Amino acid sequence: MSKMTYREAIRGALREAMRADTRVFLMGEDVGRYGGAFAVSLGLLDEFGPERIRDTPLSESTFVGAGIGAALGGMRPVVEVMTINFSLLALDQVLNNAATLRHMSGGQFSVPLVVRMASGGGRQLAAQHSHSLESWYAHIPGIKVVTPATVADARGLLLAALAEPDPVFVFEHATLYPLEGDTEDGTPMAIGRAAVRRSGKDATLITYGGSLGKCMAAAEQLAASGIGAEVIDLRTLRPLDTETIIASVSKTRRAVVVDEAWRTGSFAGEVSAIIMEQAFDELDAPVARVCSAEVPMPYAKHMEEAALPQAGTIVKAVRGLL
């Protein structure tokens, strides 16, 4: 057991994987000499050299495509996209190549590719650097989507992703990089399993990534008035651990889904639909959703805070179900 930050946990997992397997390499914008836009890869260039820590041009479609090609050629590339908004430039490569080649080749080819990117708001980076678009990727069959919310998961889920034979997309909420916590050495954790972060009997809060801390804070506030909120951290959006969701909702009989994406077409809507399909008779109230305001993310701090889910709005949603 060791204490470190979220960014250090990712860096440690990358270092561990690269030392263990010479096929693993990192490529992306500013990952080398600069040390990464979020300082995740700081120091790795000195240790592994420019062949394995590769700075790329500002051309997401090109270097994600190069990562797919390297994976097809037997390498284990880790591609870092600076922010999720920029990843839209590579969606053609993701949807039409990475996700489809195993199927279109009749299983002859696999694409063991890991793509990491920063997601979410809360850092005053305005509308081109602050959105949560994970549900767009979770919509695509053929890839896996993980959303580590803790320091231990940042390490464990990345190592698990590097062991997968098919593409895995890792969404790292940008506010989490300085988060401190404990990690455990050992085998990688399994992809596709949610975690019950707090037990409760009155309502279930279902979330992932950067909203976990807000849900935990909301649960603390609710506990002060005698309301027990159970907190589910999805960890993985595809494949989704529906069993944990349904078991919790069947116990508490109320659910609030907290998702930093826009409400319309959000992953929260998918979770809500699953609960309605599989646990309708267990519910004592309609499923509620807490999402971001339907606007491009504002720059001004007070406006950004108002646009994002907050502990107070989560508490209000739970009270509305009781």
pLDDT digits (tens, 9 = 90+) for 208-254: 999 999 999 999 999 999 999 999 999 999 999 999 999 999 999 99
Whether 100 shows a pLDDT value over 90: the answer reads yes
Q: What is the pLDDT of residues 153-201, one digit of tens each?
A: 999 999 999 999 999 999 999 999 999 999 877 666 899 999 999 999 9
Res 187: pLDDT: 65
> Quick one: 88 and 112 in the same domain?
yes
Res 186: pLDDT: 66
Number of domains forming the structure of the chain? 2
Q: Decide: residue 102, CB within 10 A, 0-12 exposed, 13-18 middle, 19+ buried.
A: middle
Q: Decide: residue 90, CB within 10 A, 0-12 exposed, 13-18 middle, 19+ buried.
A: buried
> Quick one: 87 and 155 in the same domain?
yes
Neighbour count for residue 292 (Cβ, 10 Å): 23
Residue 63 lies in a domain: yes
Average pLDDT score over residue span 143-156: 97
> Quick one: 248 and 304 in the same domain?
yes
Using CA atoms of 189, 192, 193, 197 in order, give the dihedral in degrees to the nearest 10: 90
Residue 189 lies in a domain: no
> Quick one: 129 and 226 in the same domain?
no
Residue 89 lies in a domain: yes
Res 184: pLDDT: 79
| CATH number of the domain residue 317 falls in | 3.40.50.920
> Quick one: 115 and 141 in the same domain?
yes
Average pLDDT score over residue span 7-35: 97
The secondary element (H helix, E strand) that includes residue 136 is: helix 134-138
Residue 199 lies in a domain: yes
Residue 168 lies in a domain: yes
| CATH number of the domain residue 72 falls in | 3.40.50.970
> Quick one: 296 and 223 in the same domain?
yes
Q: Which of 128, 159, 183 is the last residue of a domain?
A: 183
Q: pTM (2 decimals)?
A: 0.96
Residue 190 lies in a domain: no
> Quick one: 27 and 120 in the same domain?
yes
Average pLDDT score over residue span 135-143: 97
The span from the CA of 35 to the CA of 186, in Å, is 26
Q: Which two tokens stand for residue 300?
A: 């001004």
Residue 162: C-alpha distances to residues 76, 79, 92, 275, 279 (Å): 7, 12, 22, 31, 35
Q: Which of 149, 183, 217 is the last residue of a domain?
A: 183
> Quick one: 153 and 230 in the same domain?
no
> Quick one: 173 and 223 in the same domain?
no
Whether 1 shows a pLDDT value over 80: the answer reads no
> Quick one: 263 and 174 in the same domain?
no
Residue 104 lies in a domain: yes
Whether 49 shows a pLDDT value over 80: the answer reads yes
> Quick one: 133 and 199 in the same domain?
no
Residue 188 lies in a domain: no
Q: Which domain holds residue 124?
A: 2-183
Q: What is the pLDDT of residues 52-67, one digit of tens each?
A: 999 999 999 999 999 9
Whether 278 shows a pLDDT value over 80: the answer reads yes
Q: Provide the β-strand partners of residue 24.
A: 76
Q: Which of 183, 210, 244 is the last residue of a domain?
A: 183
Q: Which residues are catalytic?
A: 60, 129
Q: What is the pLDDT of residues 202-217, one digit of tens each?
A: 999 999 999 999 999 9
> Quick one: 178 and 63 in the same domain?
yes
Using CA atoms of 181, 185, 190, 195 in order, give the dihedral in degrees to the nearest 10: -30
Q: Is 177 in contact with 125 (CB distance < 8 Å)? A: no
